[in-house]
Amino acid sequence: MESQWGDGGSVDLDDTRLETLDPRPLLTRDYETRPALVYERLRQQHGPVAPVDLLGVPAWLVLGYRESLQVLQDDDGWPKGLENWRARTEGRVPADWPLGPSLEVNHILIQGGPGYRPLRTAWDVALKPFQDPRHPQAKRLKAAVTAYADELITLVGQGGRTGVADLSAQFSRPLPLMVASHLLGFPGSQGDDALMDMWRVLDAGPDAEAALERLLATLAELAALKLQKPGDDFPSYLLAAYPDLSLDHLARELFMLLGMTSDHVGILISNTVVEVISGEGSVRASLSAGMVRESMNRVVMRKPPLVNFVPRFAARDTPLGNYTIRAGDPVWVSPGAAHADPLFADHVASGTTISTRAHLSWGAGPRQCPARELASTVAAAGVGRLFERFEHLDLALPADQLPWRSSPFMRGLRSLPVRYELAATPAGPPVGGLAPEAAGEVLPDPSARQRSSLWRYLTGLIRGGR
Ligand code: HEM
């Protein structure tokens, strides 16, 4: 046993080394189907911090709520940045490690070091117009979400006023993609086509690598366009806030925005829809009282879209849980597990509409999600519109049999089969929303939309009463 002086005086360090522990794989079939069980087993065996194997690479998984906060709130003690990863520097991370491509695209979520702070400040500035409810840009965004939601719902309705649909493929997934296209300031509906490549990347199928290349090239073109001709959009705002950003770097930041928007917001929308449909009567009642947001806060806490965060690295040998984490060891904070920690879970009263705000689903500390308001607004406006336009929505499968998809980072529904009945009279503008003419300004020319490959894909999904 060694000894080291920390802030609180002398602390004992054990002799454990991550590389000699030979941990068990995390990403098993159980992780896919019953993640809570996997976390519980690890907690029982190792306590709040457990060694795991992530597709052939050892890492520490933080399962404890207190320990998660300890890591997230101390960016100096647990910085991000792959350059801090000892095993990688020593050549012990295989070149073909499956998680390599997503972690090696260096953007704000992954980045550490001195470049991070100015970049985060620029992100905060660039997001502000979309997040400040009094700003015209935020109003336009809300109107756009409602207008896109209307387009998608009308398309579902082409299968008949009653029928069956997959609300994941036909609503929760395309809606944030259309929003991302709006945020990025793509001309017309051109963005929808290019951005469909994001799905190929996220689905990690055989065409994922080619799709990633195409997507980065498209985003680099867009970045160059915005440099020449700035508009009222996120890339232009980011460039204005950070004029030294190279085009290549800007493209990577846009890629990050696209990934977060299209995947995580989509997951949040689907989970909220399930909560509203299958929750107790009070949930639907509270919805009509304009409480979509509260419902969503509960959902995001119970089912965090990001179940594990990208790695941070111990700046020095540090005790955490029952182990000593060696300088340069990777540490993955797991809100999926931390929310099941009795320390946290026992404080969350089940079945109440009052939910705790102490959850980690948006992160914690200095690197907390800067787009929480934006993501919540998009999801709430989309879900709100869905329940205005559909008179009845029922799950076509019992809630506990809905299919889930998991990656090392996220967990969301693979599909969301429903039986629906559209309201007889089309809904007017949403309560507190903009007039339809204002929403019309944000929609691309309908004939261009119909020609887009996103639209052709969505039209192919219409099932109606079949
Ligand atoms: C439901 C949707 C979303 C959820 C649940 C979510 C959650 C999170 C979480 C947990 C983190 C912290 C990760 C960590 O500590 O390692 C994070 C960071 C971040 N998120 Fe979000 N996010 C969402 C949507 C978005 C959207 C739509 C954007 C962009 C428009 C965005 C931009 C970012 C950025 C830039 C960071 C990195 C912040 C930093 O490192 O300083 N997020 N998000």
**CA 147 to ligand 1 center in whole angstroms:** 25
Write down which residue in 286, 318, 338 finishes a domain.
338
**CA 22 to ligand 1 center in whole angstroms:** 32
**In terms of residue numbers, what domain contains 16?**
1-102+305-338
- The residue whose CA has the least distance to atom 16 of ligand 1 is 309
Q: What is the pLDDT of residue 192?
A: 74
**CA 304 to ligand 1 center in whole angstroms:** 12
Tell me which of 270, 331, 369, 383 to substitute to probe ligand 1's pocket, judged by most ligand atoms within 8 Å of the beta carbon.
Answer: 369
Q: Which atom of ligand 1 is nearest to the CA of 116?
A: 41
Greater confidence (26 vs 190) lies with 26
CATH number of the domain at 95, please. Answer: 3.30.43.20
Q: Which atom of ligand 1 is nearest to the CA of 363?
A: 10
**CA 26 to ligand 1 center in whole angstroms:** 23
Q: Which atom of ligand 1 is nearest to the CA of 375?
A: 27
- The residue whose CA has the least distance to atom 15 of ligand 1 is 363
- The residue whose CA has the least distance to atom 7 of ligand 1 is 362
- The residue whose CA has the least distance to atom 27 of ligand 1 is 261
**Alpha carbon distance, N-terminus to C-terminus of the chain:** 68
Assess whether 184 and 279 both reside in one domain. Answer: yes
Assess whether 281 and 398 both reside in one domain. Answer: yes
Assess whether 425 and 465 both reside in one domain. Answer: yes
Assess whether 92 and 156 both reside in one domain. Answer: no
Q: What is the pLDDT of residue 101?
A: 81
Residues 6+ apart with CB under 8 A from 399: 274, 278
Residue 354 in any domain: the answer is: no
**CA 363 to ligand 1 center in whole angstroms:** 8
Q: Which class for 248: exposed (0-12), middle (13-18), buried (19 or more C-beta within 10 A)?
A: exposed
Assess whether 141 and 216 both reside in one domain. Answer: yes
Residues 6+ apart with CB under 8 A from 313: 78, 79, 80, 81, 84, 85, 86, 112, 327, 328, 329, 330, 331
Assess whether 277 and 401 both reside in one domain. Answer: yes
Mean pLDDT over residues 313-337, rounded? 97
Q: Which atom of ligand 1 is nearest to the CA of 360?
A: 10
Q: Give 183-239 as a DSSP string.
A: HHT-STTHHHHHHHHHHHHHHT-TTHHHHHHHHHHHHHHHHHHHHHS--SSHHHHHH
- The residue whose CA has the least distance to atom 1 of ligand 1 is 265
Lowest mean pLDDT among 199-208, 241-250, 275-284: 275-284
Write down which residue in 338, 360, 393 finishes a domain.
338
Count how many domains the chain has: 2
CATH number of the domain at 249, please. Answer: 1.10.630.10
Contact predicate 241/125, CB 8 Å: yes
Q: What is the pLDDT of residue 431?
A: 46
Residue given tokens 């509270």 in the structure block? 286
Q: Which atom of ligand 1 is nearest to the CA of 366?
A: 41
Residue 284 in any domain: the answer is: yes
**CA 343 to ligand 1 center in whole angstroms:** 25
Q: Which atom of ligand 1 is nearest to the CA of 312?
A: 16
**CA 223 to ligand 1 center in whole angstroms:** 21
- The C-alpha angle 274, 266, 71, rounded to 5 degrees, equals 100
Please say if the pLDDT value at position 346 is more than 90. no
Q: What is the pLDDT of residue 457?
A: 84
Residue 211 in any domain: the answer is: yes
Assess whether 252 and 134 both reside in one domain. Answer: yes
pLDDT tens digits, one per residue of 119-159: 999 999 999 999 999 999 999 999 999 999 999 999 999 99
Assess whether 290 and 387 both reside in one domain. Answer: yes
Would you place residue 46 in the very low, low, confident or very high pLDDT band (cuts 50, 70, 90)?
A: very high
Q: What is the pLDDT of residue 1?
A: 44
**CA 247 to ligand 1 center in whole angstroms:** 22
Tell me which of 260, 263, 302 to substitute to probe ligand 1's pocket, judged by most ligand atoms within 8 Å of the beta carbon.
Answer: 260
Write down which residue in 338, 354, 385 finishes a domain.
338
- The residue whose CA has the least distance to atom 39 of ligand 1 is 367
Residue 170 in any domain: the answer is: yes
Q: Residue 319 belongs to what H/E stretch?
A: strand 318-320
Q: Which atom of ligand 1 is nearest to the CA of 365?
A: 15
Q: Which atom of ligand 1 is nearest to the CA of 176?
A: 27
DSSP strands (E only) in 150-192: 162-166
Residue 359 in any domain: the answer is: no
Assess whether 208 and 279 both reside in one domain. Answer: yes
pLDDT tens digits, one per residue of 259-309: 999 889 999 999 999 988 887 655 565 565 457 888 888 899 889 999 999
Assess whether 150 and 57 both reside in one domain. Answer: no
Assess whether 205 and 221 both reside in one domain. Answer: yes
Would you place residue 202 in the very low, low, confident or very high pLDDT band (cuts 50, 70, 90)?
A: confident
Q: What is the pLDDT of residue 426?
A: 63
Please say if the pLDDT value at position 188 is more than 80. no
Q: What is the pLDDT of residue 278?
A: 84
Residue 352 in any domain: the answer is: no
Half-sphere exposure of 186 (CA within 13 A, CB side): 22
Residue list, ligand 1 pocket, CB within 6 Å: 108-109, 120, 123, 257, 260-261, 264-265, 268, 305-306, 309-310, 361-363, 367, 369-371, 374-375
- The residue whose CA has the least distance to atom 29 of ligand 1 is 257
Would you place residue 432 in the very low, low, confident or very high pLDDT band (cuts 50, 70, 90)?
A: very low
Q: Which atom of ligand 1 is nearest to the CA of 72?
A: 15
Mean pLDDT over residues 56-80, rounded? 97
Q: What is the pLDDT of residue 291?
A: 74
Please say if the pLDDT value at position 104 is more than 70. yes
Q: What is the pLDDT of residue 280?
A: 63
**CA 105 to ligand 1 center in whole angstroms:** 16
Q: What is the pLDDT of residue 442?
A: 63
Would you place residue 354 in the very low, low, confident or very high pLDDT band (cuts 50, 70, 90)?
A: very low
Q: What is the pLDDT of residue 54?
A: 95
Q: Identify which of 66, 398, 142, 418 has the alpha carbon closest to the alpha carbon of residue 273.
A: 418
Greater confidence (231 vs 10) lies with 231
Mean pLDDT over residues 429-454, rounded? 60
Assess whether 185 and 251 both reside in one domain. Answer: yes
Q: What is the DSSP letter of 162?
A: E
Residue 353 in any domain: the answer is: no
Residue 344 in any domain: the answer is: no
Mean pLDDT over residues 231-251, rounded? 96
Would you place residue 6 in the very low, low, confident or very high pLDDT band (cuts 50, 70, 90)?
A: very low
**CA 36 to ligand 1 center in whole angstroms:** 23
Q: What is the pLDDT of residue 456?
A: 84
Sheet holding 417-422, edge to edge: 162-166, 417-422, 390-395
Q: Which atom of ligand 1 is nearest to the CA of 123?
A: 35
Mean pLDDT over residues 401-418, rounded? 93
